[in-house]
Chain A
Amino acid sequence: MPDGQEVVEKQAKSEIIAPGYTFGTVTDQISAVVLTKKTPLFWVACFGVGFSLLLVFLWAVALLLAKGVGIWGIRTPVMWGFAITNFVWWIGIGHAGTLISAILLLLNQSWRNSINRFAEAMTLFAVACAGMFPLLHLGRPWLFYWLFPYPNSMGVQPQFRSPLVWDVFAVSTYATVSAMFWYVGLMPDMATLRDRAKNRVARVLYGMGAMGWRGSAKHWSIYETASLLLAGLATPLVLSVHTVVSFDFTIAILPGWHSTFFPPYFVAGAIYSGFAMVLALAIPLRSVYGLQGLITDRHLENAAKIMLATGLIVSYAYIMETFLAWYSGDIFEEAAFWHRMTGPYASTYWALISCNIILPQALWIKRIRTNPVTLFIWSIIVLIGMWLERYVIIVSSLAQDYLPSSWGYFHATRWDWATFAGTVGLFMFLFFIFIRLLPMISIFEVRTLLPQARVKGA
C-alpha cells in the first residue's frame, strides 16, 4: 500500500461507505434499530407473515408426524420430492453467508463488512430450515439419532459408505462453525448494545451475550486470531458442505444423478442462490431502515457481479451436463436428459433454464445491476430458478429411470407446499427476530471501513 495521505484521496473516490459517517454515527444508526427506533410497520408485517407461515409449518409437521410421509406426494419411484429439494435449496442459500464472512475476509475484501452480519445470520437460519428436512422426511423421524455414531446396546453403527451419513457430519459441522463464527463476531457489538441499552433487562441480557467484552487490546487481539482461525475453518466448509450434499446424488447410480462434476456445479449454484438471498434481504432492509449509506449501491453491484459469475458457472454446468449425456452414449443418461427436456417435467426444466441462465444475463447491463428494484426482482428469479434446479434434478431423474414399467410422476400435495412455505416462514420468523434484537450490521467492522479508521491504521 502506498503511504497514508495518498490513500485517503484515492480511496475517497471509491469509498464503500457513504461519506459523512463518523464512528459515532455508525454506532448510533445501527444500534438505534435495536434500541431506540420505533419498530417499523415493515418489520411487523414481515414478522407477521413469517409467524403465520411458521404456524402453517407446525401444523404440517404435526400432521406429518401423526400420519406419515404419505401426506406428501412422494411415491414409488419418486421417493424424494420437496423435502430434499428444499433441503438442498436452503443449504445452498446458507453458503453465501459463510462465503462472505470467511472467504472474503481471507481475501481482504473489506466491503463485505457491511453485509457479513446478516448474511451470517441468514446462513444460520437457512441451515436451520435445511436441517429440518432430512429429519422430517424420514419414515420414522423419531429414530433420526440412529444416523449418529453413538455407543449403543444394539451394537450397530451408521453405515459410513452412505452419503447420508456424510451429510450428517457435513451439515452439523457447518452449522456449528457458522454459529460460532457468527457469535464471535457478535460479541463486541453486544457489548456496545449493553453499554447503550437503557432497559435493565436488555442490559443484563446483552451483557451475558457479550461474555464480558470490555474492548481491551487483549480482547481485540484474541478476537482477531479467533476470527481468522474460524474463517480458515469455515472456508473449506463452504466447498465441502455442498460437495457432500451433491454426493447424495452422485453416489447413486441413477441417470441424471450419477455424475462427477456435481460438486463444483453444486457449490457454484449454492453461492449463486446465496447471493440472491443476500440481495433479496438487503435491498428491502436498507431502504426500510435507511441504511443506504452503509449498504451502498456498490455492495449491491458487487453481489450482483458475484451472482452473474456463479450463474455463468452454473450455466456452463447445465450445458456440459447435457452435452455429456449425449456424448457418453449411455442410453439411460441420454434418455434422462431427453425426458427432462421434453417429458412431463419439461415446463419445470425450461422455467429453470430461463430463471438461471437466460434472464440473469440481463445483469450484464449496468442499469439493471445497479437499480435496487430490478436487482431485487432478479434475485427472486434466481432463487426460484435454483429451487427449480434441485426439483428437476431430484424429481425428473427419479420419475423416469431404468425400467419404464416403474415410471411414475410426482405431484406435490398441499402438505408439500405447506411444509416448504412453512420453512420460509420459519426463516422469516428467525430473521426478523434477529433484526429486531441484534445489530444487523456489524458495528465495529463497519467502523473499520471509515476513512478515519484507515488514516489511523496507516
Chain B
Amino acid sequence: MNDKEKQPELVQIQGSFGDRQRNPQTAGVSQPVPEIPGIRAELEKKQGREYWRSLNDLAAAPGFREALEREFPRQAIGWSEDEDSVEGRRKFLKLMGASLALAGLAACTKQPTEHIMPYIRQPEELIPGRPLFFATAATLNGVATGVLAESHEGRPTKLEGNPEHPASLGACDSFSQATVLELYDPDRSQTLAFRGDIRSWGSLFSMLRESLAVQKLKNGAGIRILTETVTSPTMAAQIQAIQKLYPGLKWHQWDPGGTHSARAAAMQTFGQPANTYYDFTNAKAIVSLDADFLAQGPGTLRYARQFSEGRRVRTGQMAMNRLYVVEPMLTPTGAKADHRIALRAGDIEEFAWALATSLGVANGPKNGENYEIYKWLGPIARDLQANKGASVVIAGAEQPPTVHALAHVMNDALGNVGKTVFHTDPIEANPVDQVASLEDLVKDLDAGAVDLLLVLGGNPVFNAPVELGLGSQFQKARLRVRLGLYDDETSAVCDWHLPETHYLETWGDARAFDGTVSIQQPLIAPLYDGRSALQVLQMLTVAPDQSPYQIVKGYWATQHTGADFEQWWRLAVHDGFIRGSALPPKTLAIRGAAITQPAAPEHLRGELEVIFRPDPTIYDGRFANNGWLQELPKPITKLTWDNAAIMSPATANRLGVYQGLNLDRTNDSAPMVDLTYQGRKLRAPVWVQPGHVNGAVTLYLGYGRTRAGRVGSGMGFNPYGLRTAKALWHDTGLAVKKTSGGYLFATTQDQHALDTRRHIIVASDIEPYRKDPEGLHANEEAPPRTLTLYPEWKYPNYAWGMAIDLNACTGCSACVTACVAENNIAVVGKDQVRRGRVMQWLRVDTYYNGENVNNPPTYNMPVPCMQCEDAPCELVCPVQATNHSAEGLNDMVYNRCVGTRYCSNNCPYKVRRFNFYLFSDWETPSLKLLHNPNVTVRSRGVMEKCTYCVQRINAAKIRSEKEGRHVRDGEIQTACQDACPTEAIIFGNINDPNSRVSNMKAQPSNYGLLAELNTRPRTTYLATFRNPNPEIEA
C-alpha cells in the first residue's frame, strides 16, 4: 500500500528537478561545497513518505542545488580546451540525468522498495518487441502533414509519413520527424506556474472563473485570445462558441512564417479568401517566383513527389519537366532548376510583371535596366505558352501579394487553373491579415482595454514585428495567461504559464494544404501535467471540464450527418484523416483590380537589401531547442547550430569580408558585420554563399533565442530584432559595415567546386543522354573484377542494395533526420561539429560546378554507407569488428570495436563515425524513452556507421520466415527511403532481377561512386539530368 502511494511522489521529484530556474552563474565557479552530510543526516531522521517529500523539498533548496552543481557541474569545463564553456550543448542530454542520479545517490542510504509489475493482461494488439503504428498529424503554421507514429510498448519513437495522407504520400519532412524529440525534450515546461511559483490547475481555473465572471458583465470586451494560425475545425468551433458567450472577445492570430502574402493576394485577386494548391504531376513547364516548393511550405512533400515524377529518367522514359527559378538565396528548389536566375527578393516582382507582360496578360514594360530580369523572358514565356494547361507559375510565400496576384493571373491565362493549379475555400478557420490583427491587439493593449490575455502556443514576444514592442505591450494586459510547450520568452512576460501537451500526447485536428481534415490522436499519456489548447479554451465555455477526446470527438459528432458515426470516427482516427474532406476546387473569377500598375524598380542606392526567411531547420525559432534540427546541416549551406548574414561572394568582396571559399572551418573564423536597418542594429557573422544574389543579405529567422532551453538559448543571432511589419520578408535600406571580431561556424562540409575528373557527380543534359546513354560513362574507369586476391562473396539468398536517384534528390535532408531518429544517433553539439565529429550516418553533400560563383549549377548527393563488396574497412580492422554479412552488408559489431579508427581512414567515402567521447545520452530519463529499442545506443570509443537499417531488414526477414516466404520487394524500407519525398532512395534485394532496386541499377545512368577504386559499392547512384530550354542554351 505504502509503495503504491510513493509512485506519484517520485514523479513529482522528477518534475521539480526538471525546471530550469537554475542560476547559470554557479556553473564552473568554485564555491564552498555545502554540507551534503548535514543534509543526509537530516534525511536519515525521516522515514517513508515524509522522507521523500523532504527530499523533494530539499531539492528545491539552494544549498542542495549548489551541492549538485558542484558534483555535476552543468557545464563541466576546464579539463580540455576542446570544450569551451559556452559549449556544453551536448550536455543537455546528460546533465539532467546526472542531477537526478545524484539526487538518489546523495540522499539515500537505503532505497525504498518499489514493486514493478508485468502485464497481467496483455493489452490488445501489443506484442512486446513489435512496434505498433498509429496515424496522427504534425502541424506547422497550423497546416497538417499526416504521420504514422511508431510506438514501442506505448512510447512513440519515430514518425513516418502516412502513405494515405494527401500531404505526405508516405514521406516525412525534418520538422515533423523531429517533433518526437520535442516530445521528450527534458527542457519542456513541466509545471504550471504563476509568476514562477508552482500552482495547480485548480487554482488557475478558479482565477479564470473570477476573471470571466467580471468579463461576463462586460460581454467579454476585455478578453483577447492570441493563437497561431488555426486550421483546426474543432478549435474554430470552440472559439466561435466562446465568442457567442462573450461577444466582445477578440481573437488574434500570429505566425511569423505564415502565408501572409498569399492570404492578402487572394483578397486582392479574387475579392475573397482562398487557398491555392498545385499539382505538378502533369506540369511540363514550371516557373517558381522565389517559391521553395520542393522543401518548404504546405504540401511540399506532395509537390516534391509530383515534381520528381515529372522528371524521372528511365529507359524508355526520357521526358522531363522544365523548372525555371528566380530567387535571391540558393534553395533546394533553385538547385534543381534547369534555369535559375539569382534576383534580389525585391526584383522578383519586376520579373513577374515582365513575364506577365511577355505572356500578354499584363501591361508592363518589356525591358528594363536589370538585364538579369529580362534576359530569358521570351524563351520562358514561349515555353509556358507551349504548355498551356500543363504549366505552373508559383509564387513564394515570402513574395508580396502582387507577385501572387500576377501568378494567379498568369496561371489563369495559361489555362492551368483546374489542371495544375487549384483554388479552394481557405483552409484556415479565420483567414485574417495577421499583421493587422496583431497591430489591433497592440492598440488595445496600449489603450489598457485588455483584462485577460490568453496566449495559446506560438512565441509572439520573440517573433512579432519588432516595432510593436510586444514584450512591453503585453505587460499592459491585466492578466496574462500563456499556454506553451516551453517556458519561453513569451512566458517570461506572462503571469501564468501553463504547460502545453505535445500533439503526440493529446487529441486534436487540423487541415492539410488541400483542406483534408487530419485527426491527431495521442500516442502516450501526457508526460507532465500539461493540457492542450483545446482544453484551455474549453475552460472558457459552459462545459469547462471536457477531455480533449470528448472535445474533438464531440465536435465531429455534430459534423457527421450519417448514423454510423462511431464507425466513421474509428476509421478517421485509424486513417489519421477524414477521407474526402479535402476542400472542393472552386473557380474564382479574377477581379479587374487584381493587378494595377507595376511599381517603379527598387534601387539600392548604395545600400543592400535585407531578406528574412524562415530557417530551413529550426523554422521560425520554434525548433530552436531541438538538437536534431539544430545539428541537421541546413540544405545548401551545410551550416549547423547557427544563422548568419548570408551574402554572395561579390557582395562580401565589396564589403571587405570575403575570405575565399576554401576555408578551414575548424579554425578560420568568419568576419562579423554590423547590419543596420531602420535604425536597428544587429551584429552577425558573414556566410558567403555561391549562388546568392549580389546586393542582398539573407537572414534566417529563429536564432538568438534567450529562453529556448539548454540546447537553443544563445545560439545564433536574432534577425527578428530588425524585422518590421512593413518588411516581413525583404526591404531595401540595409547598411552593412565590417566590424571587429570573428565567429566560428560549425559546418559539416566546406564549400567545394566539383573536380569533374573525380567523377563524383555524374550529370548531363537530357538531350545528349537521349541520343547516347552510354556516353555518360565515357571517362569512367571500371576495374576488372579479377583485381582482388580474395574469392568472390556468394549470396545465395538476399543481397541488399540501394540505388539513389540524384535526379530526384532535392537535398532537403529529410533522410538525414530520419536516419538520426531511427538509429539513435547522438547529437554532439556545435563545438564538436566544428571539430568534425558530427555523428550523422547519412549526409547530403553539396557541390558546385564550374567557375561561376555567382550562379553555379549545384548538386546534392546523399551519401550513406556504400556497403562495398570489396570493402576497404573490413580488411583493416584488427579485431574483426566490421565484417561482411552473408547478405552483403558491412556489419559493424559495436561490442567488438576497440576504436583503432583504421576503418574510417581506409574508407574512401568517409561514412564512418566515431564516438570520440560518450556522445550518446545514457542518463536522461525522458530521452531514454525516445530510443529505438532495436538499435544499440553506442558508447564511447566505438565506430559506427550506416547499416542499411539492419534492424528493419531483420524484422522483415523474421516476419517472412514465419510466413514461409521470401521478403517481398518493398517490404523493407530503410529510414532514409521512408522519409524521402521524391522516392530518390530505393532499397531492396539485388539478387532479385525484378526488384525496384535492380531495375534502377540496370539503368544506363547508374554508376558507382569512386568505382575506379574497385570497392564495388552496393549503393549506386543514378545520374542527374538537366533539361535546359534549347532557346536559352543556344
Beyond A70-B832, A139-B941, A254-B908: 8 further Cβ-contacts under 8 Å? A69-B916, A76-B914, A137-B901, A139-B915, A141-B898, A159-B878, A162-B878, A168-B878
Set A157, A159, A332, A409: member contacting B667, Cβ < 8 A: A409
A248 to B901, CA, bound (A): 12
Name B residues whose Cβ lies closer than 8 Å to a Cβ of A: 79-82, 664, 666-667, 749-750, 752, 755, 757-758, 760, 832, 835-838, 843, 845-847, 861, 863, 872, 875-880, 896-902, 904-906, 908-910, 912-918, 940-943, 1009-1010, 1013
B-side contacts of A251, CB under 8 Å: 875-876
Are B940 and A68 within 8 A (Cβ)? yes
Are B752 and A253 within 8 A (Cβ)? no
A66 CB to closest chain B CB, in angstroms? 8
Are B664 and A344 within 8 A (Cβ)? yes
Are A164 and B917 within 8 A (Cβ)? no
Q: A156-B896, A403-B908, A405-B752 are in contact. Are A63 and B80 (CB under 8 A)?
A: yes
Q: A137-B900, A139-B941, A164-B878 are in contact. Are A68 and B915 (CB under 8 A)?
A: yes
A-side contacts of B899, CB under 8 Å: 69, 138-140
Q: Is A41 an interface residue (CB 8 A)?
A: no
A68 to B940, CA, bound (A): 7
Are B915 and A147 within 8 A (Cβ)? no
Name A residues whose Cβ lies closer than 8 Å to a Cβ of B: 63, 67-71, 73-80, 137-141, 143-144, 146-147, 156-159, 161-165, 168, 248, 251-254, 331-332, 335, 344, 398, 401-409, 411, 413-415
Interface centre among B750, B835, B845, B900 (most CB of A within 10 A): B900
A163 CB to closest chain B CB, in angstroms? 7
A87 CB to closest chain B CB, in angstroms? 12
A75 to B749, CA, bound (A): 13
Set A78, A156, A163, A248: member contacting B879, Cβ < 8 A: A156
Q: A252-B905, A254-B905 are in contact. Are A162 and B876 (CB under 8 A)?
A: yes
A401 to B908, CA, bound (A): 7
- Identify the closest chain A residue to B895 (Cβ): A154
Q: A139-B898, A409-B666 are in contact. Are A76 and B917 (CB under 8 A)?
A: no
A-side contacts of B902, CB under 8 Å: 79-80, 162, 164, 248, 252
Q: A138-B941, A159-B879, A409-B664 are in contact. Are A79 and B904 (CB under 8 A)?
A: yes
Are A331 and B876 within 8 A (Cβ)? no
* A-B residue pairs in contact (CB < 8 Å), sample of 29: A63-B79, A68-B941, A69-B916, A70-B82, A71-B80, A75-B836, A76-B836, A76-B910, A77-B904, A77-B905, A79-B914, A139-B897, A139-B899, A139-B940, A140-B898, A146-B898, A158-B879, A159-B877, A161-B876, A162-B877, A253-B906, A331-B757, A402-B908, A403-B908, A403-B1010, A405-B749, A406-B909, A406-B910, A411-B666
A126 to B744, CA, bound (A): 39
Are B908 and A253 within 8 A (Cβ)? yes
- Identify the closest chain A residue to B837 (Cβ): A75
A-side contacts of B916, CB under 8 Å: 68-70, 74-75, 139
Are B880 and A80 within 8 A (Cβ)? no
- Identify the closest chain A residue to B939 (Cβ): A140
- Identify the closest chain B residue to A415 (Cβ): B80
A251 to B666, CA, bound (A): 30
- Identify the closest chain A residue to B752 (Cβ): A404
A68 to B1009, CA, bound (A): 33
A-side contacts of B757, CB under 8 Å: 331
A404 to B661, CA, bound (A): 13
Interface centre among A71, A79, A163, A165 (most CB of B within 10 A): A79
A21 to B267, CA, bound (A): 112
B-side contacts of A76, CB under 8 Å: 836-838, 904, 910, 912-914
Q: Which 10 A-B pairs have the closest CB atoms?
A: A139-B899, A139-B941, A75-B836, A70-B916, A406-B910, A79-B901, A405-B845, A164-B878, A140-B941, A404-B752
Are B879 and A405 within 8 A (Cβ)? no
Interface centre among B752, B847, B899, B1010 (most CB of A within 10 A): B899
Q: A156-B879, A164-B876, A253-B1013 are in contact. Are A140 and B897 (CB under 8 A)?
A: yes
Are A398 and B880 within 8 A (Cβ)? no
A252 to B873, CA, bound (A): 9
Are A252 and B898 within 8 A (Cβ)? no
A402 to B1011, CA, bound (A): 12
B516 CB to closest chain A CB, in angstroms? 39
A76 to B900, CA, bound (A): 13
A402 to B1010, CA, bound (A): 8
Are A252 and B910 within 8 A (Cβ)? no
A282 CB to closest chain B CB, in angstroms? 36
B-side contacts of A146, CB under 8 Å: 879, 896, 898
